[in-house]
A = this chain, B = another copy of it.
Amino acid sequence: MPPTDPYAAQRQRLQALLDAMPPVAALGLAVDGLDDRCLRLVAPLSRNVNDKGCAFGGSLASALTLAAWGALETALHHVGEDVDIYVADSRLEYLAPLYGDLLVEAAMPDAEAVAALCGKLAARGRGGLVMAAEARDAAGRVVTRLEGRYAAVRRG
């Protein structure tokens, strides 16, 4: 038997979460990769183009906000937490226009940060974490960068 990919179910789950949000479905975002290191999302330029023929800043903001959110959401789900995750603030840098499909990546939070956050969730039902995400062009150059604080709140 081939080895089981523990992230296949997580990829499907995250794609379903994205598709259930109308403004996200409109961007055509797809989960292109998800493992213990990072989450990668892609979206076609044609659905995210602005008046200048390059990627709309709001689409990049959405894709980056979702990549960081999705990485944290997946990491917390992976350790059994049932939480709502909200973006609290973000800082975006648009370094160069992007004349191609959107390729965005967010690193998964490291195990220590997740453990510390779980401690806060156990103690008072909520906690926060700073996350980051980047968009690159087809040549691998970073074109847009996000850093943001996310708040996790236990459900129920």
Contact = CB atoms under 8 A, between A and B. Distances in A.
A61 interface: yes
Interface stretch (A4-12, A86-94, A107-115, A119-127): A86-94
Chain copies in complex: 2
A49 interface: yes
Interface string A42-76: 00001111111000111101110110010000000
Contact of A58 (B58, B84, B86, B91): B58
Interface of A: 17, 20-24, 26-27, 46-52, 56-59, 61-63, 65-66, 69, 84, 86-94, 97
List of 4 A-B pairs having minimum Cβ-Cβ separation, nearest first: A58-B62, A26-B26, A61-B61, A57-B87
